[in-house]
Structures are given as structure tokens and as C-alpha cells.
Amino acid sequence: MGRVFVAGSINMDVVAMADRHPKVGETVAGRQVHYFPGGKGANQAVAAAKLGAPSTLIGRLGMDVFGQQLRQFLTAQGVELALVKDTPDVHTGTAVITIADADNTIVVVPGANARVSADDVAVPLLAKGDVAVSQFEIPQPTIIAFFKRARAAGATTILNPAPATLCGPELLDLVDILILNETELGLLAQTELHDTDEPARFVEAARRLPAGPDRIICVTLGKRGVLALVGDEPSLIAGRAVKAVDTTGAGDCFVGALAAQLANGKAIRDALEYANAAASICVQRMGAAPSMPTAAEVASVLQA
């Protein structure tokens, strides 16, 4: 069995519930406020751990109350935190999230996440069969250093280029599996995309990205499912009909579930089906990291 190593962000999510999103310059009354563990790196590491893969998180926390609470939570979820550093003179990463009618807007303040360095990702001993995962809530030079080490060790690299940010070929050339939504794909492919576009539009955009013959590209389409290009052959895995409560962690759940399945030796198409089912469970719950399902829950959905 391989292991999942996630180099990424750790945040406290401050979530405001409202009937609708405010317009620019407008104040609306909220219904509730919640504090949830989050950050794309933490979410993905929790998803992998709860789905049965040994999961190590590489990142940084501030030496504040949020940092203490996040460390306790992640330990309880089974995530290995030996490579998470407490960093003085900077606050723990924080995300301010507004949720209305199951859709969300997010403002992320990086804090300690911006300090994750190439030295931090030089510590783990990666091996063939391991899966190295990262996203764009830590500096890109750090991700490049991480993926270079992973490639040298024969590990599989997964990049989730979120939040949507431009990146160069130096990073994309190190990626085995690219997982992104329509906004991120549109930015990288330099074309305008909408979640209502036909699948052929996403295939066309994905084929614009610089890619080697073995690159796998997965475009997550929310309730419509996921479109995957494997060996340049497109396939659409339909979404599952569920009542969404909070979509905040759905993409991270998909990434962590896919990484866990690949670390456990599953074939890519089986792993995609599994990750799609896991994400359908995640959106039915509040919060990001706390909403990640267990392996037993995903198995139940797949059997049904």
C-alpha cells in the first residue's frame, strides 16, 4: 500500500449562513456563524485518511488558538502531523465563507500557509506507489520542489490548481493528474467556460493545456459529475442526485478520495467513480474537513 502526502494549506473556516449573498456594498442579515476546520491541504489529507490511506500533511500553523484547535482536530481524524510546523509571528490561515442556497463565496487569508517552503517539503521520504498532492494555497515554488522530489522517487503527483491562478509549464510538466473545475480550467486554457457548457467544450479546453501522453485531466462539474481525459479519451461520470447543503469541501473530497484509491492500488477509472461518490456525500453536510465521509459510507453509496 502506498501513502498520501499532502503539501498544502490549513485554515480555520469562519462560515456565515444567509438567505442570499450580499451585493457589492450591501449588508444582509445572517442566520448563523460556524467555525470549521478547513484549508484545501487539510481537507484533502482528512479525506484520504478517513478513506483508508496513510495520510501525512505538510504545512504550517500559527501559534494561536485556531492553530491549536486545528492540530487537535487533524490528529483526531488520523492525519499524521509530524511535518506540520508551528510558526511564530504569523496567524493561522483563515477563510471567510458565506453560504446561501448551498452556494458559497470564499475569501482566504493565507497567514502561515504563505510560509510553507521548499525546505518543508524536502523532509518526507517518498517512494514508488506513494501519491503527492498539492494545491494553490501555498507558494508555487514550494509545490515545484515537492513534485520534483515526488517524480524522482517514482510517486504519482496530483495538482488541484485552486484557487484559480496562472502557472507555468515548469509546474504543469511535473503533474501526473490534474484535477480542476470549470473556472480553473478556463483560466489555464485561456478561454471562458461556464458550468452549463456542453462536455465537448470542456474536452476542447482541456486539450489546450500542455500535456504529455500519460497526463490525466479531471474536470469536476458539481452536480453534473466529473469529466476525465485518460489517454486523451474523454469519459463522463454522471453526478449523483443528492440535496446539497454546503459545497465548500466537495472538490477537496474528490481529490483526497482519488489519492487514497490510487495509493491503495486501484485503477484510475475505478478511483474516479469512488471519488465521485465520496464527493456526493460531502456536499450533504456542513463544513469542509468535518464533512469528509468514511470508507464505510462510500461503500454503502456505491452498493446502493
The three three-digit cell numbers of residue 292, written as one number:
469528509
Q: Is 92 annotated as a binding residue?
A: no
Q: Is 1 annotated as a binding residue?
A: no
Neighbour count for residue 102 (Cβ, 10 Å): 14
Q: Is 276 annotated as a binding residue?
A: yes
Q: Is 78 annotated as a binding residue?
A: no
Q: Is 11 annotated as a binding residue?
A: yes
Q: Is 207 annotated as a binding residue?
A: no
The three three-digit cell numbers of residue 169, written as one number:
509549464
Q: Is 39 annotated as a binding residue?
A: yes
The three three-digit cell numbers of residue 202, written as one number:
470542456
Q: Is 223 annotated as a binding residue?
A: yes
Q: Is 282 annotated as a binding residue?
A: yes
Q: Which long-range contacts (CB under 8 A, 24 or more apart) does 148-155 make?
A: 148/174, 149/121, 149/122, 149/124, 150/5, 150/126, 150/174, 153/126, 153/127, 153/128, 154/127, 154/128, 154/129, 155/2, 155/5, 155/126, 155/127, 155/128, 155/129, 155/130, 155/131
Among all residues, which ones are annotated catalytic? 252
Q: Is 42 annotated as a binding residue?
A: yes
Q: Is 120 annotated as a binding residue?
A: no
Q: Is 128 annotated as a binding residue?
A: no
Q: Is 285 annotated as a binding residue?
A: yes
Q: Is 269 annotated as a binding residue?
A: no
In Å, how far are 74, 177, 210, 246, 285 from 19, measured between CA atoms?
31, 37, 42, 13, 17
**Binding-site positions for substrate:** 11-13, 39-43, 137, 252
**Binding-site positions for ATP:** 181, 220-225, 251-252, 276
**Binding-site positions:** 11-13, 39-43, 137, 181, 220-225, 246, 248, 251-252, 276, 282, 285, 287, 291
**Binding-site positions for K(+):** 246, 248, 282, 285, 287, 291
